[in-house]
Structure 1
Amino acid sequence: MNVSRPFLIGLLEAGTIHYRMVGKHRRITAEALMEYKRRDDRERRAAAEDLSALGQELGL
């Protein structure tokens, strides 16, 4: 994922990515990671489109 461990743990604890505990260790399924990546990509794309539309509206 190329993110820091504290950032990932924050996502897990916030419930953004589903995981389960095995002893003291967090286990994340590949499907949960891929779903997060797809959702994040969609949100980023929507934000970029909004910024582009705002730029065109302002004539930039």
Structure 2
Amino acid sequence: MTAMQPTETILVETSTVGCDAGGGALGHPLVYLTLDREGQVECPYCSRIYKLKEGAKVAHGH
């Protein structure tokens, strides 16, 4: 049985992020994710969590 790796949390300053799990042979297709109203989003491929950096001000679209 293998121990699961803890989910990685990445702090960002934009409301849209691109994730490819670091690319290379262990990566996944590049996907663009939009943070939710709480300021975070989880990648459906690799489960990385992108979270808005404290104090970052993001302009929301239309």
The alignment's TM-score, normalised by the length of structure 1, stands at 0.24
- Structure having the higher Rg: 1
Higher helix proportion (structure 1 or 2):
1
Higher strand proportion (structure 1 or 2):
2
